[in-house]
Structures are given as structure tokens and as C-alpha cells.
Structure 1
Amino acid sequence: MGVNAVRAVSQAEVADAVRRAILAGDLVAGQRLVEAELTESLGASRGAVRGALIDLTHEGLVERIANRGARVRVVTVEEALQITEVRMAVEGLCGAKAAERITDAEIADLRELGELMRGCVDTGDVVGYSRLNQQLHESVIRIAAQPVAAEVISRLRARNVRHQFRLAYRPGRPQASLPQHLAIIEALAARDPEAAQAAVRAHISSVMDALRQSDHT
């Protein structure tokens, strides 16, 4: 059974598992990635783990240090800004496409999501707001039905996850971003591609401003 399990886990599956763990914050920037530990925890062969780490190195999620092995890559604020700028362009596209495709049911769902976000801000529920924030962005991408864009955004977010967590828990950040998220929802509800794209870009531009401020604190 153990042998079959080892053979069943592919290199791509190992890479996806590590990528998801980075995105979820279970693996943090600078954390060592020990091949033997990953082999045991994922039920994969050593070769599959080694190949997956090489793939993730090419993606910019992992870095290999001479004589020390692999670790989750540390992203500087300057690189985080560049990543977010690319995200702004791609997510803006998704906003426009989502406005063209959105259904009445999806509009109702997004408006309900907006009210839940408002409630989290009113009660100071930062964790809940952060979760709903992510849900809103994922909903826009899903409605846009642009799989290539979705893949690009997923990889960009994984590379930037440390900075995203820092911003999410920064005092006053939910209050600042709530009107921006509500503007995205209303632009989508109006089925206005230009307004939706502008609202998404305005929000992510605000994220970039917050990143710059964090670099000086």
C-alpha cells in the first residue's frame, strides 16, 4: 500500500500541495523545505519532491540556498509592488469580463457578500473580513471565466502571500478597503465592464500604496 501511495503522487501534485500551503500561510517566507519531510508528509517519492521544488523555484515561490537546500522564497517590498502591479492589470481584465458575464443570482450573492464584509468592519472582525475579501476576489475571477488569468493570479498571490497577510491585519486597512470592495460589487451589478475594471484597479492601486507605506514603518 505504501509503495502504491508513493507511486500515485505525481510531481505536479506535490508542487500543487506546496503551492497551496504557501498561499494558505501554512508555509511561511524563509521556512526550510526538507525533501525527506515532504516525502513523508505527502506520500511522494524523493524524485517527485525534488522535481516539484525545482518547478516551484522556476515559479519564484521557492529558492535554493547553496549547501542549505530549499526554502520558501522571501519577497522584498519592491518585488511585492511589481507583483501587485501585474496583478492589477490581470485582475482588472477579470473585472471587465465578469461584468459582461455576471448573472442575477451572482449579483445577489456578491451583494450579500458585501453586507457580510460591512458587518465584519462594524464589529472589528478582521479575520472574517480577510476571509470574505479573499472570497470576493475569487468570485470575480470565477465569474470572469478566464482560466489563464486565474492561473496567473493564483501564482502571483502565492508569491506575495506574506505581504498580503501583513496588510490584512494592519490597523485601519479593512475600513479603507471596504468602500473599494463595495464599488467593485456595484460596478459588476451594473454590468459595466469599464467601471468594474476601474474599480478593481483602484482597489489594487490602494494595496500598492499600503505596501509602500509598510516599507517606511
Structure 2
Amino acid sequence: MTSPAADDAYLRLRNLIYSGELMPNERLVEADLAERLQVGRAVVRTALLRLGQDGVVILTPHRGARVRVVTDAEAVEILQARAVLEALTAREAARRATAKEIAAIRRILAGMSRKLSEGDLLSYSDGNAALHAAIIAAARHETAARLITGLRAQLVRFQFRTILVPGRATHSFAEHTAIVEAIASRDEEAAERAMRVHLGQVESTLSHTTRRPLGES
């Protein structure tokens, strides 16, 4: 059983990796992390071991730890797995979401529309992540949420690749709108189908960018 300090350090380090503040292949120096988190090196070591078990960090004897790099092929596989899990959460959100949650999801979508019209694709991508998180929360499916969190953590360096493909953002917004409307209408099958279509398109776009440089037609 780990200590509260170790649990907190683990969560904070995981969030730094998930957010991209600690980048793929970045070396994780215990002394630097201990200073950054204001904890002892033993606490950092315990947190890194847990992250290693999660597959987020690579631990090499006598060489320390690094943030694990995900290959393009693995990223596609992760999206395929996410499509199954997030389709489930979309279905459950259509069944379980409260009126307040649906209103919040609609507000996020409206914000994404504004960012798209402004051409702010990075902020649009942030809204995208927030929308998916809100749908997952509304589903109240703890196992799916936990698994999705782990899968999303592996895709930090792919986060903006697809949305920057010319024309993709417009299609993305239409796909998200279909998901939100299905959830708001309590149409479980349509919500599940719309999420599968959306993440299938993300997978297809990502596969395309692994074969051609970003921006090439």
C-alpha cells in the first residue's frame, strides 16, 4: 500500500505526461522531479515505478526513466480500442446524462464552434478533449472511464496532428454535433454509432498522416 504522498506524486506526474508538459522520450530525473513536486526522491521513485507499470514510462536499469514513445502504428491501434470504449460511453451518456450535463455538453460544443470560426485550432482541440471528457463523465461507467484515460495518455504527441490536417476540423465539428444531438435526444444507438464514426474518421486521418507528411495533399 502506497502513502498519500506517493499517490499524489503519481497523479501529478501522470497529469504532467498526459498534458504534454513532460514530452515523449523526455528523461525523467528523480532529483529534478522531487524539486518540482516538492517531495522526496523515494516518493518520486515509487511514482515512477507505478507509471512504469501503467506503460506510460520506460524504466531502464542504471539509465533511469523516460516518457514512453508511442509508434504511429500503436497510435492507430489505441484509437481503435478507444472507439469501442467511447462508443459505449456515448450510449451510456444518452441513457444517463442529466439535463444539466447535456446543457454543459452543448456549451462545450458551442465553444468549439466559436474557436473553429476564429481559426483557433489548438483551442478547438482543447474543446474537443473537454467534450469527450464530459460525455465520459455523464456515462457514469467507471471501468470504461479508467481504461480510456490510460489509452488517451499514450496519444499526447498525436493530439494535434489530425486536427491540423486541412479540412479536418470542419468534419470533426459535424461529427461531434451528431454525437451531442444523439445524446440530447436520448438515442442510445445513434450516439454509439456517431462516436464510432467520429473516432473511425480520426483513425483514418491519423493513418493518412503516418504515410504522408502533415499538410501534404
Output the TM-score relative to the length of structure 2.
Answer: 0.90
| C-alpha displacement of 1:9 | 5.7
Structure 1 position 43 matched with structure 2 position 51: no
| C-alpha displacement of 1:196 | 0.6
Partner of 2:160: 165
| C-alpha displacement of 1:19 | 0.8
Contact (CA 8 Å) 1:29, 1:73: kept in 2 or not?
A: yes
Partner of 2:146: 151
For residue 24 of structure 2, the aligned residue among 23, 29, 38 is 29
For residue 83 of structure 1, the aligned residue among 78, 81, 84 is 78
Q: Quick one: distance in 2 between partners of 1:68 and 1:196?
A: 47
CA pair 168-14 structure 1, distance change in 2 beyond 3 A: farther
Structure 1 position 18 matched with structure 2 position 13: yes
Contact (CA 8 Å) 2:105, 2:135: kept in 1 or not?
A: no
Q: Quick one: distance in 2 between partners of 1:146 and 1:58?
A: 23
Q: What is the percent sequence identity of the aligned residues?
A: 40
Report the residue type matching 1:166 in the other structure. R
Q: Quick one: distance in 2 between partners of 1:51 and 1:202?
A: 40
RMSD in angstroms over aligned alpha carbons?
1.6
Q: How far does the alpha carbon of each residue in 1:163-202 deviate from its partner, in whole angstroms, 9 at most, with x for none?
A: 1232233433311211100000010011011111111111
**Structure 1: stretches of 5+ with no match in the other structure:** 1-7
Report the residue type matching 2:122 in the other structure. V
Q: Quick one: distance in 2 between partners of 1:43 and 1:36?
A: 10
**Structure 2: stretches of 5+ with no match in the other structure:** 213-217
Aligned length: 210
Partner of 2:207: 212
Structure 1 stretch displaced more, 121-130 or 204-213: 121-130
For residue 69 of structure 1, the aligned residue among 49, 64, 77 is 64
Mapping 1:87-106, distance limit 5 Å: 87-106=82-101
Report the residue type matching 1:117 in the other structure. M
Q: Quick one: distance in 1 between partners of 2:55 and 2:184?
A: 36
Structure 1 stretch displaced more, 126-135 or 25-34: 126-135
Higher share in helix: 1
SS of match in other structure, 1:27? coil
Contact (CA 8 Å) 1:9, 1:43: kept in 2 or not?
A: no
Contact (CA 8 Å) 2:6, 2:46: kept in 1 or not?
A: yes
Q: Quick one: distance in 2 between partners of 1:88 and 1:103?
A: 23
Contact (CA 8 Å) 1:9, 1:44: kept in 2 or not?
A: no
Output the TM-score relative to the length of structure 1.
Answer: 0.90
Q: Quick one: distance in 2 between partners of 1:212 and 1:141?
A: 25
Structure 1 position 56 matched with structure 2 position 68: no
Partner of 1:186: 181
Q: Quick one: distance in 1 between partners of 2:165 and 2:12?
A: 28
Q: Quick one: distance in 2 between partners of 1:112 and 1:150?
A: 22
Mapping 1:115-130, distance limit 5 Å: 115-130=110-125
Contact (CA 8 Å) 2:90, 2:195: kept in 1 or not?
A: yes
Structure 1 stretch displaced more, 46-55 or 27-36: 46-55
| C-alpha displacement of 1:113 | 2.5
Structure 1 stretch displaced more, 26-35 or 9-18: 9-18
Contact (CA 8 Å) 2:161, 2:206: kept in 1 or not?
A: no
Q: Quick one: distance in 2 between partners of 1:36 and 1:85?
A: 38
Partner of 2:103: 108
